[in-house]
């Protein structure tokens, strides 16, 4: 057996007894050689010496304890003024823990009840009062009594002082900046606002595209499509200064925003293009003609593949963060997921009962996808595209227009239309509301997030763009941003 303390088996030889070895002893001449004398005298003397060790101690021999257990009789506790009693702090911790446990199990009324001490324990405490130890815990290093609770409840227990509870993060309820955006269309199926990695906001107003630099507040007119065309969607490339513009004539224009110069125009759609999504050098465009075109701006062809599956206008497009999956939503109440090489959807979700425009991939968990339904649906649904499963559903009570996930914390923002016109900050996965922001008088149809992940901009048919500080910074997620405390004024974007 592996256990060294296991009893000997029957096959093992028995240990040799003292009687078997006594015949081989060779005592000196002064000692009698009779084996019976050795067997009768030696053990009795040894046992008698052990029993009466306090009365018959040999002056020339020190008695040591076996099994390496120290003898406390030889310890001079009086030298350090220490008694052989438990430490004072240990009793305090035990009584505090017992109080918390009793309150958690039987309620706060029982927290102050102390069980009666037995007569033996009472006499022991009176005879041996606790004395100070050599080494004492510092007050600032002691654990909070609240941390001793096994249940972590927040209620106050009688006689126990809890550490201060951390206050929830505050989200400013008013926008810190408002921009007038004349001719911003009130159309649910369009996507007219996007924020670049270089901190430049692109807005489609009527037949023109305007750029607003968030660092300098400078406004630049990028292009004018003319009276026969209008802007239906804008989308920044993931890196660089390239901006894609989808038009009502079914064309996609690629612009170099740093030079205000158009690079190329790509065709392929027969009707307006309301959704755009970039994946590295690949650009996806969704149209009212029910198709999605995959375009490689490095290739000479206008598009390299065509994705078919939707039965109505495509109004939502988003690539995953690893650029491997494309999610699309349409006016046919369908949410599809495509991979890099498919021309047919690899995943189909049909639970929504209204148009799916709001789509957002989680930057924190691979394969986590959120989608929102229109007026007849009002729900935010969560999907795991890795396992092809429906995770949860939240009824928001109003039309879901947009979704965006925070890069800094596990939270997301939704904007709504009929009939609340509100902006809601959610904590995932509990889907508890952190804040509800109001101010728009029309449906909040447009949403974009700043490159640092702290600020969102919302647009509505009331022809205003509003900037809100809703998320903490990536470095200090627990500190409240002060930029949203007061409005920085109202200006016009054109």
Task: Summarize the confidence of residues 372-396 as an average pLDDT.
Answer: 97
Segment holding 45, helix H or strand E: helix 35-51
E strands, 374-417, where?
379-384, 389-395, 400-405, 411-416
> Which tokens go with 349?
């979700």
230 neighbors 246 (Cβ within 8 angstroms): no
Going by pLDDT thresholds of 50, 70 and 90, the confidence category of residue 435 is very high
Confidence category of residue 280, pLDDT binned at 50, 70, 90: confident
Distance CA 481, CA 471 (A): 9
CA–CA gap between residue 283 and residue 294 (Å, rounded):
6
For domain 177-478, is the CATH number 3.30.360.10? no
For the sheet containing 231-236, what is the strand order?
231-236, 242-247, 252-256, 261-266
* pLDDT above 60: residue 423: yes
Span of 27-41, 69-83, 441-455 with lowest mean pLDDT: 27-41
Q: Does residue 485 carry a pLDDT above 50?
A: no
Q: What is the band of 136 on the pLDDT scale with cuts at 50, 70, 90?
A: very low
Q: pLDDT band for position 96 (50/70/90)?
A: confident
Residue 257 · residue 213 · CB < 8 Å: no
Confidence of residue 109 (pLDDT cuts 50, 70, 90): low
Q: Is 370 helix (H, G, I), strand (E, B) or coil?
A: strand
Q: What is the per-residue pLDDT across 314-334, written as a single tens digit (0 to 9) for each?
A: 999 999 999 999 999 999 999
Residue 135 pLDDT grade (very low, low, confident, very high; cuts 50, 70, 90): very low
Residue 285 in contact with residue 316, Cβ under 8 Å? no
| 46/33 Cα distance (integer angstroms) | 19
Give the pLDDT confidence score for residue 480 in this predicted structure: 41
CB-based contacts of 389: which residues, under 8 Å, 6+ apart?
A: 383
Residue 159 near residue 111 (C-beta atoms within 8 A): yes
Task: Answer with the residue of higher pLDDT: 169 or 128.
Answer: 169
Q: Which pLDDT band holds residue 25 (cuts at 50, 70, 90)? A: very low
Residue 153: pLDDT band (50, 70, 90) is very low
pLDDT at 422: 97
| Structure letter (DSSP) for residue 362 | -
- Report the pLDDT value the prediction gives residue 81, as an integer from 0 to 100: 54
Decide if 258 contacts 241 (C-beta within 8 A).
yes
* pLDDT given for residue 103 in this prediction: 78
- pLDDT of the residue at 68: 62
pLDDT at res. 269: 97
Phi, psi of 107 (to 5 degrees): 95, 170
Name the burial class of residue 246, with classes exposed (0-12), middle (13-18) and buried (19+) by CB atoms within 10 angstroms of its CB.
buried
Beta bridge pairs of residue 220: 211
pLDDT at 4 over 50: no
Tell me the average pLDDT across 104-122. 58
Asked whether residue 139 carries a pLDDT value surpassing 70, the answer given is no
Beta bridge partners of 372: 358, 380
pLDDT at 27 over 70: no
The three-state secondary structure class of 331 is coil
Q: Tell me the helices (H) and strands (E) count for the chain, helix number first.
A: 4, 29
Confidence band of 64 (pLDDT split at 50, 70, 90): low
How much is the mean pLDDT over the chain?
A: 79
């Amino acid at each position: 057996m592996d256990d060294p303390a296991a009893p000997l088996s029957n096959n093992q030889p028995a240990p040799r007894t003292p009687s078997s070895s006594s015949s081989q002893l060779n005592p000196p001449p002064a000692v009698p050689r009779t084996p019976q004398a050795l067997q009768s005298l030696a053990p009795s003397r040894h046992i008698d010496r052990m029993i009466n060790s306090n009365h018959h101690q040999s002056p020339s021999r020190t008695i040591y304890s076996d099994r390496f257990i120290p003898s406390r009789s030889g310890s001079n506790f009086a030298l350090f003024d220490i008694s052989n009693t438990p430490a004072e702090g240990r009793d305090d911790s035990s009584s505090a823990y017992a109080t918390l446990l009793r309150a958690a199990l039987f309620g706060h009324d029982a927290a102050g009840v102390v069980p009666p001490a037995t007569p033996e324990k009472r006499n022991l405490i009176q005879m041996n009062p606790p004395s100070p130890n050599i080494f004492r815990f510092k007050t600032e290093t002691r654990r909070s009594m609240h941390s001793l609770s096994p249940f972590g409840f927040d209620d106050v227990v009688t006689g126990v002082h809890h550490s201060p509870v951390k206050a929830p993060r505050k989200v400013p309820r008013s926008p810190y900046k408002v921009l007038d955006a004349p001719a911003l269309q009130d159309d649910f199926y369009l996507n007219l606002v996007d924020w670049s990695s270089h901190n430049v906001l692109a807005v489609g107003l009527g037949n023109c595209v305007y750029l607003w630099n968030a660092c300098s507040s400078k406004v630049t007119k990028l292009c004018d499509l003319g009276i026969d065309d209008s802007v239906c969607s804008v989308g920044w490339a993931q890196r660089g200064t390239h901006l894609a513009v989808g038009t009502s004539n079914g064309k996609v224009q690629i612009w170099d925003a740093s030079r205000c110069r158009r690079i190329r125009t790509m065709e392929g759609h027969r009707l307006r293009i309301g959704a755009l999504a970039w994946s590295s050098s690949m650009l996806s465009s969704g149209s009212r003609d029910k198709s999605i075109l995959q375009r490689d701006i490095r290739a000479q062809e206008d598009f390299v593949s065509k994705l078919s599956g939707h039965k109505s206008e495509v109004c939502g497009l988003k690539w995953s963060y690893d650029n491997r999956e494309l999610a699309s939503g349409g006016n046919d109440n369908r949410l599809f997921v495509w991979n890099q090489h498919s021309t047919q959807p690899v995943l189909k979700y049909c639970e929504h009962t209204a148009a799916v425009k709001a789509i957002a991939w989680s930057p924190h968990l691979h394969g986590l996808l959120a989608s929102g339904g229109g007026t007849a649906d009002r729900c935010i649904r969560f999907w795991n595209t890795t396992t092809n499963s429906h995770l949860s559903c939240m009824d928001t009570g109003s039309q879901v227009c947009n979704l965006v996930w925070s890069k800094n914390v596990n939270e997301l923002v939704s904007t709504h239309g009929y009939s609340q016109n509100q902006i809601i900050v959610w904590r995932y996965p509990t889907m508890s509301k952190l804040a509800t922001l109001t101010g728009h008088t029309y449906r909040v149809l447009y949403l974009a997030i700043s490159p640092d992940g702290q600020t969102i901009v919302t647009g509505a048919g009331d022809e205003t763009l509003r900037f809100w500080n809703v998320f903490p910074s990536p470095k200090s997620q627990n500190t409240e941003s002060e930029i949203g405390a007061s409005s920085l004024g109202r200006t016009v974007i054109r």
